[in-house]
Amino acid sequence: MKINEIQVSYKNPLVEDTERISVVGSEKAFEVFSSHWQEIELVESFYLLALNRANKPLGIKRLSQGGLNATIIDTRVVFSILLKGLASSFIIAHNHPSCNLAPSEADRAITKRLQAVGDVVDIKMLDHLILSPQGKYYSFADNGLL
């Protein structure tokens, strides 16, 4: 029986570290996510922003796209990306096409789960944003939920 070896590869950033912005605070995170979002008003999508120790982006990835009111997140996929990229911290975001920015119980549950796993592997969760098609957002960190 043949078993393939696991391979890890890394891609150099397109810009030098000194040229990348620092993502400090929910407003800057909202700007970064908004500039990469596709079809914010149609269906729920979930994004991950991986950061280095200086809060400079290592990369952004759309992890899932769902229906009008839900999308599925796999914790293992989130942390496989963060660990492979040697991230020190991360911010997650998803949208509510309904324009209701209040976090649901499912939003709170995934936030707690990702934060707990991050604590175990020493990758700090900095925020969870909920975006609306109206250009507004809700920050878990700003509202004391992280």
Does residue 12 have a pLDDT over 70? no
The per-residue pLDDT of the chain, averaged, comes to: 86
pLDDT for 18 equals: 47
Longest dimension (CA), the chain: 55
Q: Tally the C-alpha atoms within 13 A of residue 63's C-alpha that lie toward its C-beta.
A: 25
Beta strand ranges found along 30-108 (DSSP E): 45-51, 57-65, 89-95
**DSSP β-bridge partners for residue 114:** none
CATH topology of domain 37-139: Cytidine Deaminase; domain 2 (3.40.140)
Summarised one tens digit per residue, pLDDT across range 66-115 is 777 778 889 999 999 999 999 999 999 999 888 899 999 999 999 999 99
Q: Which comes out higher in pLDDT, residue 20 or 133?
A: 133
